Amino acid sequence: MPSAVPRPPGRAPGRAAAAVRGSLRSAATALRAWPAARWLAAAGGALLTAAVVGFPTAVIPSPLFGREVPVQWWNYPALVATAVLGGIVIATYVRTPYTGAEARFDGGNGERPEGSDGDDDGDDRGTSRLGAVGGVLSFFAVGCPVCNKVVLVLLGTSGAMTVWAPVQPVIAVASVLFMGVAAVRRLSGEVACPVRPTVAAGTAGTAAPAGARGATEPAEPAVGVSATGN
C-alpha cells in the first residue's frame, strides 16, 4: 500500500492566519460602508460603555464613587479600548436603510430584507456572549482590587493586593480580545452574508416585473376592433 503523504507542517496555522486576515478585511470593508447613523450609534455606545465601566470603578472621577487604590496607568487605555469596541458592537445592531445594488431586491424602497444583515441566531448569540463577557472582564480588570467584595471574601485584603492586582492587566487584555472578536464577527457578518430577495421575480404565483410583461402577456386588442377582425 502506498504510504500516506505527510502533511507539510504549518499548513493549518497558515489557513487560520488567512481566515483571520480575511475576517479583518471584511470588517474593515463593513466599517467603510457604514452610514452616518451607524457612526453616531457607535459614538453613543462608546460613551455609554465608558460610563458604565468607568464611573463605578472610579477610573473616571466622580463625586459618587471612589477607590482605595489609585488608578493605574494601563486602566485608561483598557477603558478606551473597551469603550470603542463596545460602541462598534452596539452599533452593529442598529438597522439602517441601504441603497445601491442591494435595492434591486426590494424594489428600491430602502428597507433591508429580513435576514440580510448578517445575523444568524446561533452565531449571533455566541457573539453577544463574547461581547458581554468582555465587558464584565473589563469592569473587574480596571476596578480597585481591594474594593471587590468577592475578591476580598476569597483572598482577603493582602491576597487582593498580592494575587488579584497582578492578574488584572491580564484580565484587561482578555477583555479587549473578547470585545475585538465580537466586533470583527459582527462586522464581517455584514459583508459575508449575502442579501437575498424577499420575492423571486418570475416564479409561479408572483407578478412579473413591469418591463417583462410585454414578453409574457399578449397585447390587448384595440378598442372597437374584435379579436376575429370583424
Instruction: Please work out, in degrees rounded to the nearest 5, the angle formed at the alpha carbon of residue 92 by the alpha carbons of 22 and 61.
Output: 110
In this prediction, residue 198 carries a pLDDT of: 45
> Is residue 160 assigned to a domain?
yes
Query: Could you identify the residue written with the cell 452565531?
Result: 123
> Is residue 13 assigned to a domain?
no
In this prediction, residue 220 carries a pLDDT of: 53
Where in the sequence is the domain holding 79, given as residue range(s)?
26-193
The Cα–Cα gap between 74 and 168 comes to 10
> Is residue 18 assigned to a domain?
no
> Is residue 5 assigned to a domain?
no
Q: Cβ-count burial of 71 within 10 angstroms (0-12 exposed, 13-18 middle, 19+ buried)?
A: middle
Most confident of 150-154, 175-179, 212-216: 175-179
Q: What is the mean pLDDT of residues 69-75?
A: 95
Dihedral sign, CA of 158, 164, 167, 168? negative
Domain count, the chain: 1
In this prediction, residue 8 carries a pLDDT of: 53
> Is residue 3 assigned to a domain?
no
> Is residue 106 assigned to a domain?
yes
Q: Are 57 and 143 in contact (CB under 8 A)?
A: yes
Q: What is the mean pLDDT of residues 77-94?
A: 95
Query: Could you identify the residue written with the cell 465608558?
Result: 50
> Is residue 56 assigned to a domain?
yes
> Is residue 105 assigned to a domain?
yes
